[in-house]
Every structure is written in structure tokens, then in C-alpha cells.
A and B are shown apart, each in its own frame.
Chain A
Amino acid sequence: MTQKLDTASRIEMPQGKLIALLSLLLTGLIVTSLFIGSNPIPVLKAISDSLQNNQSVIAIILTEVRLPRALIAALAGATLGMCGAIMQGLLRNPLASPGLVGSSSGAALGAVFVLYFGFSSLFWPALPLGGMLGSLLALLLVYLLAGRDASIVTLILAGVAINSLALAMISLLLNLAPSPYAVREIVLWMLGSVANHSLDHLWIMLPGTLLGWLLVLGSTRSLDALTLGEETAYSMGINVERLRWRLFLAVALAVGSAVSITGAIGFVGLVVPHLLRPLVGYMPGRLISVSALGGAVMLLTADIAVRLFPAGTEIKVGVLTSLVGAPFFLYLILKTRRTQL
């Protein structure tokens, strides 16, 4: 144990430096992302055109196609990374993440219901609201199923059950949907994609996401205290029950909004907090903002890779995050088995 703490402190970085580094990386990736498209365009000329409000085609491609894609990927990635960190801290379970405890697939279910049955074309906020509600319901169901002090395995099993249920419902709804194009879109919802979006989509996902993030701020200290156990946290004057609800709500707001636009992108929320945890000295409170940046970096990198991948049609970004994430998940299971059983 002491040895582990020693290694941890050795790679731990000052929070400010870590955040600056990740922000720099993220900015670099967003800029890189603007240079990638089906045809090369003079990006610098496009930037100056759009700054001068000149509606040239390259400016339109930059601001209406490439920029929303980069920003949506960053926003969704940040949300997933942050919510993964919150859930792992809150449930004190290394395998918790929006994808595994059902909040992503619940959000996808809510969004599918609202989108394909025409509610979102009547009232645009219906889409993120549907996602939030689905996300919250799924999360609560898993929590109730698994019980408050669930073991790692129980929680994951409850998550598996709710994920399967959500998947079945999504597939049923898409089959019943009036649009003849609906059935083929199940892949988009289950794997997730940030392609073909517009600025409108960014505006749709932004309010809920930001609200969720805001709710998280201010609970970092409480999360740190929670690592010492609920009893200790209580004795330190933290209302654990209220903290739990506040964070559940935050996750539902943020994940619900993001997934209602991108679909359920897997494993970002699981992988990112684990990779960054040693760097913040295993402090869940410090991990949150760092994981948000890390999540954005991971999803943007995956989306850039997907676009550079030489396939006839573009593969979905969720395929790539799952290809990376699933083996990592297996590694985590092996690791927990070794330490806990």
C-alpha cells in the first residue's frame, strides 16, 4: 500500500500544470480537427472570410460543418469523461461510468422516443429533455436495483440489465417509428457519432450540458470526503443523500443533453478517469475537471482518427472508442479481481 502511494505521488502533477497541459492539447486537437474534411480547404482563408462575415463556401464549410463537429465532439467527450469521474467517485466503484450504469443508453432511449415521434420538431428542447429524463430514470433504476452499498459486480450487473432493456426499447421504437429511415439508425444511437451535425445541434446540447457541469462544481470537496466512507463524510458535515441526488441530476442533465445529439458513445467515461487518476493523486474532486478535459481530448482524437481512416464510408466514432475501451474494461476487471477478491 505504501509502495502504491509512493508511485502515485511520483507521477502526480500540480493541478494547474495538468489542466494547462490538457487545455493546450485540446486546443491543438480542435484546430487540427478544422483541417480535416472530405476535401482540403484553405482553412486560414476560411477563418479570415468568416471573421469578415464573408459568406464564401469555405467559410460556410468551416463554421457550419467542421466547427460544430469539433465542438460537439469536445463537449460530448468532456461530459462523458467528467460524468465517469463523478460516478466512480460517488459510487466508489472503479467500473462505474455513464455507459455501464445505463445513463447513456437511457438517454438514447429518451431521445429516440422524442425525435422519431415528432415531438422534437414541434418543440426543440424536447430532445435534450427526453435525453435527460431517460438518463435519470435509467440511473435511478440501476441504483435501486443494485442497492446503496452495492458491490462492484452487482452494480455492473444491474447496469447490464438496464442497458439491455434500453437497447430493446430503442430497437422497438425505431421499428414502430413512422419514418422509413428510422430502423437503420439504431447503430447511430448505440455506437454514437458526431458526424453530420450543425451549429443548431450544438445549441441544443449546450444548455443542459453546462447546467450539469455547474451542478458538479462545488461538490468536489464533498466527493473527496466521500472517499473516506459515508460515515466519515457525514461526520464531516456532508449531507451525503443530498450530494448523491445533486450529482445524479448533474449526470442526467449533462449526459442526457450530449447523448441526445451524439448517441451513446461508449467507454470514454470509463477509460479517461482511470488514465488520469494517478496524475491527480487519487483525489476524486481534482479528477473531475481533469477528466472533462481528458474526455474531450479522447473523443476528438477518436473522431480525427475516424475521419483519417481509409474506409469507403466513414466508421462511427463510437466504434473506435469501444475498440479501445473494451479491452481496457477487461483489464480493469482483471485488476479489481486481483485486488479485491
Chain B
Amino acid sequence: MSGLRSAWRQAILGLLTFCVVTGAHAAPPQRVASANLCTDQLLLMLAAPEQIASISHLALDREGSYMAEQAKGYPINYGTTEELIALEPDLILVSQFNRQKNTEILRHLGYRVEAFATTESIAGIRSNIRQMAKLLEREPEGEALIADMDRRIAEITNDIQGEPLPALFYQPRGYTSGLKTLHDEALKLTGWRNISAEYGVIGYGAIDLETVLQAKPVQLFTSAYAPGTTSLAQQQINHPALKKVTKGKTLINIEYRYWICGGPMIVEAIEKLAKVRRQ
């Protein structure tokens, strides 16, 4: 008797779940909450304004966020579970590296949480745009954004000629971007050789000052956070020996907001790198 009852209960529960799930998927999400700067920006680029329930506070930071202007006026969150629940979202967007625990709790509570991978390449940017467009059910907008990005990159890079010249991104405390980074791909697309990748750095890692000097870079770039402030780490990238080895060329800052999150803004970084290369 009790076995039969529990079987019934299971069946009803299953049916309910099915209804809820299919119901949620029947229409595009109407209340999307993003808890990560990178998903914030893609959301702002692709969603209809009324679909956006909330974006993270970082989206408003001019230095880190390419979409700071467009982000104004939306409710912001600090990524805590309580805040996100209070927003009553029908879709929550996070990064794969974002607070794993939060994501687990939200999923456990029955919220639809979608995680985005961090981007290490332009191919990764395309796939993130597609993922976002699909979730928002705005695939045509996504494809248009990708096509525009690809067209502009091709335009910028097709007239780059000559031997690739040695360069690198040198960050405070002597960090750099090696293989499998957006920096590496952008450098190579614009006629530069990435010294760090050749030295064997994979992803983001440290590179020694003497190694940098010995590779004789023609130009140094940085995408340091918080320019205008001082610390020993930031002093390190302005070591006078670097300026001597580049024959007086100073470090060029290609802003942080183009790189911290993969997105179509990579075009502007590529444009700047190409401009320096043509000179």
C-alpha cells in the first residue's frame, strides 16, 4: 500500500518537474541575473533591456568594464546567493570559476544557473557569444555580433606586413601572458612575436627581467590594472633597463577592460596593437 502511494507521489513529482522545466524553456528568459563581469558584458550586448534583471557591480567599473556606460541604470548585485534569490531570476549567469559553492546552492534550490568558460582565444569568444545568444534566444543578434567582430579583425590585420617583431605584455610584479591567452593571439594577429610564449610561458606566468631584456623586445605592452597608483610591483615594469633595450620606446598600455573578459572588445585591442606595429 505504502509502496503504491510512494510510486504515485514519484509520478506526480516527475510530472510537476516536467511541467516546470518545459514551462521555463517555452519562452525566452525574462529575468536574467548575471553575477560576473564577463557574463554582464555579453548580456548587455545581446539581451533586450527588459530581459536583464541584474548585473554585477563590476559592470559599472570604467576600468574593468567595456560596457560601463551601457550598464548604468540596471540593478546591481555583489554575487551573493541571497541577493540573487531575492531578484527572482529565471536564469542566473556565472563564470566557471565563480564561487563554486554559490552555484551549487543555487542549483540545489532549483534555479537555472548557466556557467560560462573563461576565454583564452578568439574562438572562445565566439563560442561564449553563441552560448549567450542561445540562452537568451537571440541567435541572430549573436551571429551578427560575431560576424561584425570577425570582419573588423580581418580589416585591421590584412594590411600588416613584414617579419613579426618581438614584443610582450609585461605586467606589474613581472607577470606576462604566454601561450593560450588572448594577449598572445592578439599579438600574433598584428605582426608581433610573443617573447613570453617563445620562452615557454603558458597562460599567465612570471617572466624574469633579464630574460625579457635578452629577448630584445622592440616594444613592451602592458594591460596593468589601476594606472596612476604606485607600488613596488608597478615600479618594476618601468625599470629603466627596459626603456634602454627598446631604444627609448616607453611601455604602451592597452587597457585592462579589453582583456579581462573575452568579448568583441578584443577588436579595439587588436586595433591598437596594429597601429603601434604600423609605426
Which A residues are within 8 Å of any B CB, using their own CB? 37-39, 41, 55, 57, 60-61, 64-65, 115-116, 118, 120-121, 177-182, 184-185, 188, 196, 198-200, 313
| Contacts known (A57-B216, A181-B233); A65 close to B225, Cβ less than 8 A | no
Residues in B whose Cβ lies below 8 Å from that of A65:
209-210, 213, 239, 241
Give the residue name and chain of the A residue nearest to B241 (CB): A64
| Contacts known (A55-B244, A64-B240, A198-B240); A115 close to B230, Cβ less than 8 A | yes
Tell whether, in the assembled complex, residue B231 and residue A182 are in contact, meaning their CB atoms are under 8 Å apart.
yes
- Which of B216, B229, B230 has the most chain A CB within a 10 Å cutoff? B230
Of A39, A120, A177, A181, which is within 8 A of B172 by CB? A181
Tell whether, in the assembled complex, residue A200 and residue B226 are in contact, meaning their CB atoms are under 8 Å apart.
no
* CB interface residues, B 232-279, toward A, < 8 Å: 232-234, 236, 239-241, 244-245
Residues in A whose Cβ lies below 8 Å from that of B172:
181
Tell whether, in the assembled complex, residue B225 and residue A180 are in contact, meaning their CB atoms are under 8 Å apart.
yes
Of B225, B229, B236, which is within 8 A of A196 by CB? B236
| Chain A proximity of B53: nearest CB distance (Å) | 29
Q: What are 25 contact pairs spanning A and B, CB under 8 A?
A: A38-B210, A39-B211, A39-B214, A55-B244, A57-B213, A60-B244, A60-B245, A61-B210, A61-B213, A61-B214, A64-B239, A116-B229, A179-B230, A179-B234, A180-B229, A181-B229, A181-B231, A181-B233, A182-B231, A184-B233, A185-B233, A188-B232, A196-B236, A196-B239, A198-B239
Tell whether, in the assembled complex, residue A181 and residue B213 are in contact, meaning their CB atoms are under 8 Å apart.
no
Residues in A whose Cβ lies below 8 Å from that of B239:
64-65, 196, 198
Measured CA separation A309–B9 after assembly (Å):
67
- Asked whether any CB of chain A lies closer than 8 Å to the CB of B206, the reply is yes
Tell whether, in the assembled complex, residue A185 and residue B241 are in contact, meaning their CB atoms are under 8 Å apart.
no
- Asked whether any CB of chain A lies closer than 8 Å to the CB of B208, the reply is yes
- Asked whether any CB of chain A lies closer than 8 Å to the CB of B173, the reply is yes
Of A38, A178, A185, A198, which is within 8 A of B211 by CB? A38
- Asked whether any CB of chain A lies closer than 8 Å to the CB of B28, the reply is no
Residues in B whose Cβ lies below 8 Å from that of A61:
210, 213-214, 241
How many residues of chain B have a CB within 8 Å of chain A? 25
| Chain B proximity of A109: nearest CB distance (Å) | 15
- Asked whether any CB of chain A lies closer than 8 Å to the CB of B174, the reply is yes
| Contacts known (A61-B210, A178-B226, A196-B236); A116 close to B231, Cβ less than 8 A | yes
Question: 12 new A-B pairs (CB below 8 Å) besides A65-B239, A198-B239?
Answer: A41-B214, A64-B240, A64-B244, A116-B230, A118-B230, A120-B230, A180-B226, A188-B232, A196-B174, A196-B209, A196-B236, A200-B240
Give the residue name and chain of the B residue nearest to A174 (CB): B231
| Contacts known (A39-B211, A65-B209); A177 close to B231, Cβ less than 8 A | yes
Of B208, B226, B236, B244, which is within 8 A of A179 by CB? B226
* CB interface residues, B 170-206, toward A, < 8 Å: 172-174, 206
- Which of B229, B234, B236, B244 has the most chain A CB within a 10 Å cutoff? B229
| Chain A proximity of B247: nearest CB distance (Å) | 8
Residues in A whose Cβ lies below 8 Å from that of B229:
116, 118, 177-182
Measured CA separation A305–B209 after assembly (Å):
19
| Chain B proximity of A178: nearest CB distance (Å) | 4
Measured CA separation A55–B242 after assembly (Å):
12
Residues in A whose Cβ lies below 8 Å from that of B225:
180
Considering the complex of A and B, which 7 residue pairs feature the smallest CB-CB distances, nearest first? A64-B241, A179-B229, A181-B233, A179-B231, A181-B231, A38-B208, A178-B229
Residues in B whose Cβ lies below 8 Å from that of A120:
230
Tell whether, in the assembled complex, residue B241 and residue A60 are in contact, meaning their CB atoms are under 8 Å apart.
yes
Residues in B whose Cβ lies below 8 Å from that of A196:
174, 209, 232, 236, 239
